[in-house]
Structure 1
Amino acid sequence: MPAAVLRRAVRETVSGLPREYWWLWTSTLVNRLGAFVATFMALYLTLDRGYSASYAGLVASLHGLGGVVSSLAAGVMTDRFGRRPTLLVAQVSTAASVALLGFMHHPVAIAAVAFLVGMTSNASRPAVQAMMADIVRPEDRVRAFSLNYWAINLGFAVSSMGAGFIAEYSYLAGFLIEAGMTLVCALVVFAKLPESRPVRVAKETEPAVGLGTVLRDGRFMSVVGLSFLVALVFQQGSVGLPVAMGRAGFTAADYGTAIAVNGILIVALQIPVTRFIEHRDPKRLLVISSVLAGYGFGLTAFAGSVGVFMLTVCVWTLAEIVNAPTQTGIVVRLSPVHGRGRYQGMYTLSWALAALIAPVMSGVVIDRFGAAWLWALCAVVGTVAGLGYGLLMRRLPAEESVQEPVRESSRAPGAEVGPTATEAVATAPRTEAARA
């Protein structure tokens, strides 16, 4: 690709997003660059502490359970107290709990603090997603969510490589580095990000939004259910695939080689694929990505070499690249402005539940029926999710009006504040799709 074309593509991809968004994006990248604990927790417990694999699995499940517990609570906090306070509390608490975990030795204490880490680390997600929806124009949201997803994977790819070197030196250093990086994220939020929660004005007729409102929203809860199915499929890349490859005689290095394709492709293709899908029909994208994910994992049943495993990873990674930003954008479109935190919390819950259930599901299916049945089940689940999206999205509501409610006027000390949502729409160039 000519350099001029590449520069233009990059400029068009990153242009038009407010400064607040880029500070939030930077916070996400720094957070993922320091995500060492999730990478080496199992090795830390089994090799360094000498616990059994069963105990390591229990700790992982408790970590996931903490995320399930905090998802809804964090959503309520995001709407009631604001995005910025929720982010600050979540990140400072995460830093403290991760550092504390590094000093725990008793198995009960390790399990309890791991549960606490799961709660605190998951609590920031509804606030981050709600803040992005607040500060980014509706027509730019898929691009914004995609760039954020790219930052998550870029940071995780770098931290995964660094985790091995840090673990050779000191596991405790990994815990303390992650705690420090999380505190840096909190400082970025405190210094650079203003509160973005829309202010409710007297003339607005939108009713108050509670968790009951979310649960009674049939279409949205159906989307949450479908998101849970898709998440169950994607989770097999980290829970079912290594077990199946081990049973087939492949080594840990073979699995590492195959799964590395996932991170490499996301970093390489997320931005160009986003440019391709940005203004396309989200219903079609969700249907295609769900089915592609299911059958991408389904093809694993025919893999007999590391090269073929890598090809199957390519298939479902492409589905992941399309699905992640599109699905998050759909959640925003279906959420009332003053209930974004609760809606995002419920959506986060679907992924937290999948992370909790997927290890048990894959283990039971592989033990009782064999790995081929797990991959066939993935194909069925992906197909069901695709059909569900096709039926539910027939009358998808149009993007909300660009004249959104004004945001809270509170500013972080010394914050560099970009235009408000209304000002950005009034001054920024409109795309052809937006005019249409």
Structure 2
Amino acid sequence: MKKLYTNYINTFRGLSPEVWWLALMTFINRSGTMIIPFLTLYLRDDLDINQTNVAWVMTCFGLGSVFGVWLGGKLTDKIGYYKVMVRSLLATGFLFIALQFLGTFTQICVGIFIVMVVADTFRPAMFVAMSVYSKPENKTRSVTLIRLAINLGFSAGPAIGGLIIANIGYSGLFWVDGITCILATLLLINKLNPRKAKPVDEIINDNPISVNKDKPYWVFFIAMVFFAFIFMQYFSTMPLYYKDVHSLTEPEIGYLLGLNGLIIFLIEMPVISWLEKSNFTKIGLTLFGLILTILSFVVLNLTPWLGILVFGIVLMTVGEMIGFPMSNAFAMKRSKRGKQGEYLAMYVMAFSIASIFSHNAGLQMSAYFGYEFTWYFMCTLGILGVLLLLYLRRILKQSGELV
């Protein structure tokens, strides 16, 4: 047991202090975003917005995210990651608090769009900061540590959020979301100010290649849109499925979704550390992660047994914890060919673009055709992503760029 513990701790060694501070700040911020898994329930059950209109609200969520990520990438290359991160986090805190006072369908659509524009300018800047503060040999583990912080936050967030809803109501979530964003901003200003924090891998490319001319990266981008599309069902349609089909309560839904973060906290870093030393390629591992995520939807249609929900979460979690760090590491390595903000914004934008259509499609299909049809549809999209990744692996192998 002691050796196991020591080996676990050793997987975290060698990362810079700045990456650790960035992880802590991310954990505080992600713990506060407990409204996200409950947003569809809040809109439908608390504001009495019908499910098809909830789908359009989630589309505004995605549109705001896409524009925010694009803007974040541009601003990061222009004014620097630190200024973008500080301004985004602070403004997001106040906007989350204000969001609870919107009541009509139109107000909610506009409000969600604005919140996501401001909030997601942070994401490309954060990835650039993580790359700058990580040695080349530590980048995948740095990505994993940040994801660990995100998922640990998501593990605590939904569980606490479910209890807040049960005892205080949905308004408490908005206050906690806003306050935690503000706290994360204070930590960022105190610990990651460029006058104190020193870069360890700052990239200056005098002849950057435009991401628009990078064909393999575009194939990768489209595959990640499909991957993100099906994965995001767990944050919009899936909570409704748990409640409507399996009659779970909000706290039970929170605990089930929280299992995802708990598993990642316990085993992701050792698994990624081992995979980095293996002969598997980043694209091959991304492909494996996508296949596991597809299977997490397949099993839901096999039996009405309640325990299958846990099995589905486990499959999705393993797929996510292998696929996303490896795809992120591939994007960071590829970004050295051009402007980092542009490349990494495009990676994040794959998730944002997916969210425009994913939430809406899942909610609309489940309302009109049922959950079983919806899960099979998601599997079909996942298979398209698998085919694209297979094609990408082939063209990278032919060009000698497969890593």
TM more than 0.5: yes
1:288-367 equivalences under 5 Å are 288-336=288-336, 339-366=339-366
Counterparts of 1:44 and 1:377 in 2: how far apart (Å)? 26
- Aligned in 2, Cα 1:256/1:36: closer, same or farther, shift over 3 Å? closer
Aligned to 2:182: 183
Q: Given that residues 291 and 385 in structure 1 are in contact (C-alpha distance below 8 angstroms), is that contact kept between their aligned partners in structure 2?
A: no
Bigger drift between 53-62 and 280-289 goes to 53-62
Which range is displaced more, 24-33 or 62-71? 62-71
| Residue 50 of structure 1: how far off its partner (Å) | 4.4
Equivalences for residues 182-201 of structure 1 within 5 A: 182-195=181-194, 196=199, 198=202, 200=204
Residue 397 (1) aligns with residue 401 (2): yes
Matched residue, 1:123: 121
Aligned to 2:221: 224
| Aligned equivalent of 1:109 | 107
Correspondence 1:98-247 to 2 at 5 A: 98-167=96-165, 168-169=167-168, 171-195=170-194, 196=199, 198=202, 200=204, 205-207=206-208, 213-244=210-241
The answer to whether the aligner puts 1:19 opposite 2:23 as a matched pair is no
Instruction: Please tell me whether the aligned partners of residues 236 and 362 of structure 1 are also in contact (alpha carbons under 8 angstroms).
Output: yes
- Counterpart residue type for residue 89 of structure 1: R
Is the CA contact 1:64–1:356 (under 8 Å) kept in the aligned structure 2?
Answer: yes
Contact 1:299 1:375 in 2 (8 A): no
Q: Give the 3 Å change call, closer, same or farther, for CA 300–325 of structure 1 in structure 2.
A: same
Q: Is the 8 A contact 1:25 1:151 kept in 2?
A: yes
Tell me, what secondary structure is at the counterpart of 2:189?
helix
The equivalent of 1:6 in structure 2 is: 5
Q: Which residue of 2 aligns with 1:408?
A: none
Structure 2 CA distance, aligned partners of 1:111 and 1:374?
A: 24
Determine the structure 2 residue equivalent to 1:416.
none
CA contact under 8 A between 1:295 and 1:382: conserved in structure 2?
Answer: no
Answer whether contact 1:229 1:382 (CA < 8 A) is retained.
yes
Q: Displacement, 1:379?
A: 3.3
> 2-side partners of 1:231 and 1:77: how far apart?
24
- The residue that corresponds to 1:263 in the other structure is 261
Distance in 2 (CA, whole Å) between partners of 1:122 and 1:62 is 13
| 2:75 pairs with 1:77 | yes
Show structure 2 runs of 5+ residues with no match: none
The letter for the 2-side match of 1:95 is G
Preserved contact between residue 31 and residue 153 of structure 2 (Cα < 8 Å): yes
**Structure 2: how far apart are the matches of 1:334 and 1:370?**
40
Alignment check: 8 A CA contact 1:34 1:181 kept: yes
Paired amino acid for 2:339 = G
Structure label with greater radius of gyration: 1
Name the amino acid aligned to 2:168: Y
Measure the CA separation in 2 of the matches of 1:149 and 1:354: 19
What's the TM-score once normalised by structure 1's chain length? 0.81
Post-superposition Cα deviations, 1:354-406, rounded to whole Å, max 9, x if no partner, equal 1221133234544565544433333333333233223313336378xxxxxxx
CA distance in 2, matches of 1:88, 1:3: 41
Between the aligned partners of 2:259 and 2:162, the Cα distance in structure 1 is: 18
Quickly say closer, same or farther: Cα 1:37–1:162, change in 2 above 3 A: same
Letter in 1 for 2:126: V
Counterpart secondary structure, 2:401: coil
Match of 1:251 in 2: 247
Instruction: Give the counterpart of 2:59 among 58, 61, 74.
Output: 61
Q: Distance in 1 between matches of 2:115 and 2:216?
A: 32
240 and 99 in structure 1: CA distance in 2 versus 1, 3 angstrom threshold = closer
Aligned equivalents of 2:345, 2:365: Cα separation in 1: 30
For structure 1, list consecutive stretches of 5 or more residues without a partner in the other structure: 400-436
Evaluate the alpha carbon distance shift between residue 373 and residue 137 of structure 1 in structure 2; reply closer, same or farther with a 3 A threshold. same
Q: Distance in 2 between matches of 1:217 and 1:255?
A: 41
| Alpha-carbon distance in structure 1 between the residues aligned to 2:369 and 2:171 | 40
Alignment CA distance shift 1:312-1:14 (3 Å): same
CA deviations over 1:142-166 (Å, ceiling 9, x no partner): 1111111111111112121222333
Q: Could you tell me how far apart the structure 1 residues matched to 2:306 and 2:254 are?
A: 10
Greater CA drift, 348-357 or 290-299:
290-299
* C-alpha separation in 2, matches of 1:82 and 1:38: 28
Give the aligned partner of residue 27 of structure 2: 29
Q: Which amino acid aligns with 1:134?
A: V
Structure 1 pair 99–337 and aligned structure 2 pair: CA distance change class (3 A): farther
Does 171-180 or 253-262 show the bigger shift?
A: 253-262
- 1:38-87 CA-partner distances (Å, limit 9, x unpaired): 24434444454444444444333322221011111111111111010110
Partners of 2:84 and 2:8 lie apart in 1 by 35
**More deviation in 185-194 or 115-124?**
185-194
Residue 283 of structure 1 pairs with residue 283 of structure 2 = yes
The amino acid that maps onto 1:131 is A
Aligned CA RMSD, in angstroms, stands at 2.6
Is contact 2:148-2:264 (8 Å) kept?
yes
Corresponding residue for residue 413 of structure 1: none
Displacement of 1:19 in angstroms is 1.1
What count of residue pairs does the alignment treat as equivalent? 389
1:122-145 deviations in Å (ceiling 9; x for gaps): 111101111111111122111111
Change over 3 Å in CA distance of 1:152–1:332 after alignment to 2? same
